[in-house]
């Protein structure tokens, strides 16, 4: 009985992030934000298990901010649908460069493809939020100069 409980607990830990968390693109605004936060993750990735709950907390706290949240899940090893997602989001070159790597969040400019910052498990929630807020200001200034 203990073995079965341990196996079920292990499966829940391994599969949980794939099924429990809501999809990041469910609440996407009608207009795509210029700042993109692209999570490269997998259930087997130790760094992802540290970083992803922090990112999720910040994402929820910053709901309504103009950030395009994208999540590439490499758990099952299938990449075809992920490439399509990257294409639809306008960030295919970033995906092509980083596909299969996991454990980080890329903050980038959707318009230029410039990577602003790569958030790793070394970032706590406050530092993740500060990075997003910093790059939101930069993107707003770029838009005002260009527009």
pLDDT in tens, 102-142: 999 999 999 999 999 999 999 999 999 999 999 999 999 99
Could you tell me which residues are beta bridge partners of residue 37? 69, 107
Q: In this structure, which CATH number among 1.10.3720.10, 3.30.70.1520, 3.40.30.10, 3.40.50.720 belongs to the domain 2-146?
A: 3.40.30.10
The pair of structure tokens assigned to 79 is: 């990449």
Mean pLDDT of the chain: 83
% of the chain residues with pLDDT over 70: 78
Note the pLDDT of residue 26: 43
Domain range annotation of the chain:
2-146
Q: Which one has a higher pLDDT value, 53 or 21?
A: 53
Positive or negative torsion for Cα 54, 28, 14, 104: negative
- How much is the pTM? 0.78
Site of tokens 């934000």: 33
């Amino acid at each position: 009985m203990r073995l079965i409980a341990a196996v079920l607990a292990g499966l829940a830990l391994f599969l949980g992030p794939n099924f429990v968390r809501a999809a990041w693109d469910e609440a996407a605004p009608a207009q795509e934000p210029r700042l993109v936060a692209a999570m490269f993750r997998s259930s087997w990735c130790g760094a992802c298990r540290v970083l992803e709950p922090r990112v999720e907390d910040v994402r929820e706290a910053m709901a309504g901010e103009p950030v395009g949240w994208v999540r590439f899940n490499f758990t099952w090893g299938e990449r075809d649908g992920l490439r399509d997602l990257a294409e639809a989001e306008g960030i295919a070159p970033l995906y092509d460069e980083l596909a299969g790597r996991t454990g980080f969040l890329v903050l980038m400019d959707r318009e230029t493809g410039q990577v602003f910052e790569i958030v790793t498990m070394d970032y706590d929630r406050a530092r993740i939020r500060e990075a997003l807020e910093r790059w939101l200001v930069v993107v707003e200034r770029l838009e005002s100069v260009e527009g």
